[in-house]
Amino acid sequence: MIADLARCVAEAYEVALPHRGKGKVADYIPALATVDPNRFGFALALPDGTVHTAGDVDIPFSIQSVSKVFTLALALRRLGSSLWTSVGREPSGSAFNSIVQLESENGIPRNPLINAGAIATTDRLIDGRGDEATVAEILDFLRARAGDDSIAIDAEVAASESETGARNRSLGYFMKGFGNLHHPVEEALGVYFRQCAIAMSCRQLARAGLFLAMEGRDPITGEQLIKPHRARRINAIMMLCGHYDNSGEFAFRVGLPGKSGVGGGILCIAPGQGSIAVWSPGLTEAGTSLVGAVALEHFAYAAGWSVFD
Ligand SMILES: NC(=O)CC[C@H](N)C(=O)O
């Protein structure tokens, strides 16, 4: 039976609604701490261009670590498999900003979706071009994927990320000490802080993720953006590492590749089917949107879209 997807979206939204207000809004920077915890949006983008929505789907939010998926795709496109000399693809089982494994593992982060791995990936993406050109590539890519040139970096969030970025700088310098950063730490971090500060709505983010559901091809523009096997591998990494030490729980409950951000966004990919973006700012301890995960769990079940179905 083919599920009525509009209905699945509406139901997932309704089921998750009572959970609003649970979870903790990220408070390490003022611009995130002041976001209304009752915000909640759910957008499903399909390859034919249809978007099914519920709630606050047109309000931009800070995509934070969801950006790591896109910089990974861009770095793989630019560097190919040589990226894997700088970063691994194993789950870390630790917090997003943990430094401990780096010491015993030669400064090579476990995967590209923890902070250390994302910083190493962004560093490789720079590829000698400088920070401005790299930031421009990331923004241009997201604008083209979302079909919306208004997507921008929130300058206040970017400045706060840098001001409070001691821990991320530590990760950068630690990797530099092992010879695993190719550019100055401040250059890599300068790009990383800005990619985290990109603001997008659920509608834009769901649309932007479609190429990952469609073997690397943007179904709306028809462009083959990355090779099919790379899209498959990014999905594998999202499934195993997209929620840090909560990745097993998310796979258990939702059964789809996903990536969380501390702004409360989650991008979820249903291979061959579509791309889903949810946003609600209250977080679990692992930094995943609590309401968003409930909604995705229900949606994947109702649609029969768990990759294990
Ligand atoms: N999990 C996240 O979204 C963390 C992103 C945050 N900007 C950081 O680098 O710490």
Q: Decide: 92 and 111 in contact? Cβ < 8 Å.
A: yes
Among residues 304, 226, 277, which one has the least CA distance to residue 56? 277
The SS3 call for residue 53 is strand
The SS3 call for residue 87 is coil
Q: Which of 57, 68, 86, 301 is catalytic?
A: 68
Superfamily of domain 65-196: DD-peptidase/beta-lactamase superfamily (3.40.710.10)
Residue 197 CA: nearest ligand 1 atom is 7
Q: Tens-of-pLDDT digits for all 309 residues of the chain?
A: 578 999 999 999 999 999 998 999 999 999 999 999 999 999 999 999 999 999 999 999 999 999 999 999 999 999 999 999 999 999 999 999 999 999 999 999 999 999 999 999 999 999 999 999 999 999 999 999 999 999 999 999 999 999 999 999 999 999 999 999 999 999 999 999 999 999 999 999 999 999 999 999 999 999 999 999 999 999 999 999 999 999 999 999 999 999 999 999 999 999 999 999 999 999 999 899 999 999 999 999 999 999 999
Whether 259 sits among the annotated catalytic residues: the reply is no
**168 known member of a binding site:** yes
What integer pLDDT is reported at residue 3 of this predicted model?
Answer: 80
Please determine, for the modelled complex, whether the ipTM score is greater than 0.85.
yes
Residue 167 CA: nearest ligand 1 atom is 10
Q: Which residues have C-beta within 8 Å of that of residue 195, sequence separation ≥ 6?
A: 67, 68, 70, 71, 122, 135, 138
For residue 61, the number of C-alpha atoms closer than 13 Å in the C-beta half-sphere is 39
What integer pLDDT is reported at residue 1 of this predicted model?
Answer: 56
Tell me how many degrees the CA angle 238-278-209 measures, rounded to the nearest 5: 50
| 71, 97, 247, best to mutate for ligand 1 pocket (most atoms within 8 Å of CB) | 97
Looking at the chain, the domain(s) classified CATH 3.40.710.10 span 5-61+200-303, 65-196
**67 known member of a binding site:** no
pTM summary value: 0.98
Ligand 1: centre distance to CA 189 (Å): 12
Topology (CATH) of 5-61+200-303: Beta-lactamase (3.40.710)
Ligand 1: centre distance to CA 116 (Å): 10
Which residues does ligand 1 sit against, CB inside 6 Å? Answer: 64-65, 96-97, 115, 161, 168, 196, 261-262, 287
Ligand 1: centre distance to CA 303 (Å): 30
- Between CA 13 and CA 285 the distance in angstroms is 22
The SS3 call for residue 39 is coil
**235 known member of a binding site:** no
Whether 28 sits among the annotated catalytic residues: the reply is no
Ligand 1: centre distance to CA 118 (Å): 10
CA-nearest residue, atom 8 of ligand 1: 115
Whether 22 sits among the annotated catalytic residues: the reply is no
**9 known member of a binding site:** no
Whether 65 sits among the annotated catalytic residues: the reply is yes
**254 known member of a binding site:** no
Whether 68 sits among the annotated catalytic residues: the reply is yes
CA dist list (Å): 244 to 22, 85, 117, 130, 309 = 20, 21, 12, 29, 24
CA dist list (Å): 173 to 45, 68, 178, 243 = 39, 19, 9, 24
Report DSSP letters for 141-199, one per residue: HHHHHHT-TT-EE-HHHHHHHHHTTHHHHHHHHHHHHTT--SS-HHHHHHHHHHHHTEE
